[in-house]
Amino acid sequence: MGRLTNDFEAGRDDVRAPAMEAYMRDQFPFLGLSAGARRSAARATLTGLPRPTEAELATIARACWARDEREYQQFACDYLVTHVKVPGPGFLAVADELITTKSWWDTIDPLATRFVGGLVRRHPALTSRMDDWSGSANLWLVRTAILHQLHYGTETDTTRLFTYCTRQAGHRDFFVRKAIGWALRHYARTDPAAVRSYLTAHAAVLSPLSIREASKHL
């Protein structure tokens, strides 16, 4: 973490930071690093380092989550996605911890669509945990369950996708309703007829936002 902190601090931009904080509704302080600058600094930090172990992944992710500035959590998401083939199924507990702490879309979405999605794909027994998350009281776990198959394409378990969407169709939160639309819109690239049929059958329960998002390219 020392090397990462030094490299991130070297790029601190106190002029840029307030706008980034405002964009995130002032929930997190920022160093002021753009995504490109953050990833460039991360590459410099990681050059020459060996592939991490599962334990090291957990340690680094938690250390980043303990930092105040949002760029550290964003780095941790990139790092986990890069090394998604390293951890075993037990790592889902760490993902749960990250998803439910300092939660906002900028960390949830890469964790959901790339990391948790990859973890479940490699360890299919975890699909039952996605069933649990899809009915969670925590909206970010719900969003993760709905989005975790986003990049599965023809391997998508459509029964689960549609079941999760129906289960949360009346959810009051914008981020869940948006996730339903996003997941359906993305799956429509693979099977537009199935999505069209689902929307027709569930028009009475889905929110206008979910339907509008799902229908964008149909």
169 in Cβ contact with 207 (< 8 Å): yes
pLDDT of 34:
95
pLDDT in tens, the chain (218 residues): 888 999 999 999 999 999 999 999 999 999 999 999 999 999 999 999 999 999 999 999 999 999 999 999 999 999 999 999 999 999 999 999 999 999 999 999 999 999 999 999 999 999 999 999 999 999 999 999 999 999 999 999 999 999 999 999 999 999 999 999 999 999 999 999 999 999 999 999 999 999 999 999 99
pLDDT of 74:
98
Q: Can you say whether residue 213 is alpha, beta or left, with left for phi > 0 and alpha for psi between -120 and 50 degrees?
A: alpha
pLDDT of 2:
86
pLDDT of 195:
98
pLDDT of 132:
98
178 in Cβ contact with 213 (< 8 Å): yes
- One-letter amino acid at 141 equals L
**pTM, whole model, 2 decimals?**
0.96
CA–CA distance from 11 to each of 4, 26, 77, 92, 193 (Å)?
11, 21, 19, 33, 48
- One-letter amino acid at 56 equals E
166 in Cβ contact with 180 (< 8 Å): no
pLDDT of 1:
84
Tell me the C-alpha distance between 145 and 150, whole Å: 10
Domains of the chain and CATH, by start: 149-218 (1.25.40.290)
Q: Token pair for residue 157?
A: 């378990």
